Structure 1
Amino acid sequence: MEKSNHTVTEFILLGFTQDPMMQLILFVLFLMVYSMTLVGNITLIVLIYADSHLHIPMYFSIGNLSFLDLWYSSVYTPKIMVTCVSEDKSISFDGCVAQFFFSAGLAYSECYLLAAMAYDRYIAISNPLLYAQAMSRWLCICLVSISYIGGFVNAIILTSNTFTLNFCGDNIVDDFFCDVPPLVKLACDVKDSYQEVLYFLLASNVITPTLLILASYIFFIIAAILRICSTQGRLKAFSTCSSHLISVTLYYGSILYIYCHPSFSYALEWDKIVSTFYTVVFPMLNPMIYSLKNKDVKEALKKLFKMTSS
C-alpha cells in the first residue's frame, strides 16, 4: 500500500495519560483484563471443542465469537501495555496500517457474526425439534465464513481509503491505537468521498446488522416465545436469548456512539473511554455473558475441573 505522505514514517500514540504513576496503574489494570480475556475465551473454546454436549450450532457460533474476541483483544492490549511502561510510544506507519486493518476486519466480522447468531436463536426457538436439521453444520460454516469474508473485505476498503489521506506532517495520534477518529484529526484533505465511504461502511457493517437483529427479535423471536404454552418454556427461551441481547447491546451501542457522529465533533478524550470498552473490556465480558447463565457450559466446566484434578 502506498503511503499517503512519505514524510510520515511513524505515529506517536499518546495513550491515556503522561503521568508515570497512572501509566503503571493502567499497565496493571490492562494486564489483569488481558489475562482474564485470554483465560476466559480459551477456556470457552476448549470446553466447546472437548465436550460433545456442546457440539451444537449455538456453541459453534459462541466458540467463533470467543476466537474473534481473543484475536481482537490481542490486536490492542499488548501494544497498550508497552505504551504504558515504555518511553518509546511510537508505532511504525506499516504497524499502524496492520493494527488498523485487523481491528476493522475483526470488528466487522463480529458485527456479522452477532447478526448470524440472531438467526440461530430464531430457528432454535421457533422450530426446536428441527433445529439440528435447519442449522446444519454446512450452514453454520457458511454463516461464519461469510462473517469473516465480509468483515475483512470491508476492512480492506476502509484501510485503503484511510491511509491514502494526506497527513499534514503531525504524527501524534491522540489515542491508544490507530483508529478512524484520531487519524482523521491528523488529515488535512478529508474529502466528502472519504466521509461517504465511512457512512457506507457504518451502514452496511453496523446499522444494517443492528436493524436486522432488532427486526428478528421484534417480529419473529418474541412472537415465537409468546407462542410457547408453558411459562417455564418461555422463561428458558428468554434466558437463552438474553446473553445474545446483552452482547449486541454492549457491542453495537459503543461502536455506534464512536462512529455515528461526524468527524468535526469528535471528543477524543471521551472516545478513548468508550473505545476501551469495546476493544479491551468487551472481549473479557463475553465469556462471562455466555457461561454464567448457561447450565451446559457450567456442567462442561465441572467435568473439566474433575478431569484436571483427578
Structure 2
Amino acid sequence: MNASGTEATTSVSHFILLGFPSSPEMQLVYFGLFSVTFTLTLTGNAAIACAVRWDRRLHTPMYIFLGNFSLLEICYVTTTVPKMLANFLSSSKSISFVNCFAQFYFFFSFGCDEGFYLCIMAFDRYLAICRPLHYPRIMNKQMYTGLIILGWSSGFILFITPVILISCLPFCGPNIIDHFMCDPVPLMMLSCSEDTITQLVYSTLNIIFMIGTFLFVLCSYALVILSVLRMPSAAASKRKAFSTCASHLTVVLLFFGSVMVMYVSPGSRHPVKKQKIITLFYSVITPLCNPLIYSLRNKEMKTALRKIFRIERGAHKT
C-alpha cells in the first residue's frame, strides 16, 4: 500500500497549461497583445521605481513605499506572464511539477506582499494626515525600513504552508490544467484524493488575509477622509489629500475586488472561462493600470517621470 501510494504521488512529473485554446493565428495575436501589455507594465513600474530612487524630493516614506510597490509589481507579473507568452508559441504547453509549484508559490507570495504593502501605504497616509505632529517621530527610518522588510517577507512566510500541503497531495493523472498558470484550485481538483483539511487550511488562510487586509485599508482611509473633511485648511490642501487617497483606493479596489471574487470561496466552482478572465485581470491588467493611476494623479510623480524620460532621451541622442 505504501509503495503504490508513493508511486501514485510521483506519477505526474509535469502539467499541461491549456491557457487560451484557439487557432495558431489567434495564438499569435494573443502573444502580440500580451507582449505589449507586459512591456508597458515593466516600463511603467520601472519608471516609478527609478523616479523614487533618483529624485531626492521623493525620498519620503510615501514615495519609498510606492517605489517598493512598483518593484513588487514587476516581480509579480514576471512569475506568470513570460511562461504564458512562451506557451502561446509552444505546442506542448507543459510545465514541470517543480516549476509549477514554484510559480504557484512565488505568484501568490508576491500577491500577498502586494496586499500587505497596500496596508502599509494606508497606514502611512493615516499617520501623515490624522497624526501629522507625531508622523516624523513614528515614521522614522527604522520604522519604514522595518515595514519595507515586513512587506516583502510576509507573503513568502504565509504561503509556505498551503504550497507544501497542496504539493504533497497525490497526483496520479490527469495532468491537464485548464488555465494559463498553476492556480491552486485547479491543482487541488486534479488530485487523486479530496483532502478536506488542505482545502480548509487554504480557504481559511485566504479569507483571513484578504478580508483582514481589505478591512484594515478601508478603515484607515475612512479615518483619513473624516480627518480631511474636518480640516480647517484651504481647499487646495484638501484636494491634494483626497487625490492621494483616491489613487490608493482605486488600486485597492482593483486588486482586492478581483482577488476576493476569485479566492475567498474557491469551493464555489467558478466557470473555467470566468476563472481565467478574473485571474487575467488581477495578474496582468491591474499591474499595468497601477503606474498610470499613481502617476496621472500625482504632480510630484509626474514631474519626476518627465525628468527621467528627458534624461533617457538625452542619453539616446548622445
Q: TM-score range by the shorter chain?
A: over 0.9
- 2:148 aligned with 1:144: yes
Aligned letter for 2:116?
A: Y
In the aligned structure 2, how far is the partner of 1:240 from the partner of 1:264?
A: 36
Q: 2:290 — aligned with what?
A: 286
List per-residue Cα deviations over 1:48-102 (Å, max 9, x = no partner): 0000000000011111111110011001111001101111200000110110110
- 2:228 aligned with 1:222: no
User: Secondary structure, in 3 states, of the residue corresponding to 1:128?
Assistant: coil
In the aligned structure 2, how far is the partner of 1:222 from the partner of 1:86?
A: 50
In the aligned structure 2, how far is the partner of 1:45 from the partner of 1:116?
A: 17
- 2:163 aligned with 1:159: yes
After superposition, the Cα gap between the structure-2 partners of 1:223 and 1:264, relative to the gap in structure 1 and judged at 3 Å, is closer
- 2:293 aligned with 1:253: no
What's the CA shift for 1:129?
Answer: 4.9
Aligned letter for 2:299?
A: K
Aligned letter for 2:224?
A: I
**Which portions of structure 1, spanning 4 or more consecutive aligned residues, are displaced by more than 4 angstroms?**
none
Q: 2:96 — aligned with what?
A: 92
Number of aligned residue pairs: 308
Tell me which moved more, 181-190 or 83-92: 181-190
Q: Is the 8 A contact 2:11 2:172 kept in 1?
A: no
List per-residue Cα deviations over 1:150-195 (Å, max 9, x = no partner): 2101111111011111224100001000011211221232222112
Match 1:19 to one of 17, 23, 39: 23
- 2:132 aligned with 1:128: yes
In the aligned structure 1, how far is the partner of 2:63 from the partner of 2:37?
A: 24
Identity of aligned residues (%): 38
TM superposition score normalised by structure 1 = 0.94
Q: Is the 8 A contact 2:207 2:264 kept in 1?
A: no
In the aligned structure 1, how far is the partner of 2:292 from the partner of 2:12?
A: 42
* Consecutive unaligned residues in structure 1, runs of 5 or more: none
Q: 2:3 — aligned with what?
A: none
Q: Is the 8 A contact 2:10 2:172 kept in 1?
A: no
List per-residue Cα deviations over 1:7-51 (Å, max 9, x = no partner): 000000000123212111110011000100111111111110000
* Consecutive unaligned residues in structure 2, runs of 5 or more: 1-5
What's the CA shift for 1:137?
Answer: 1.9
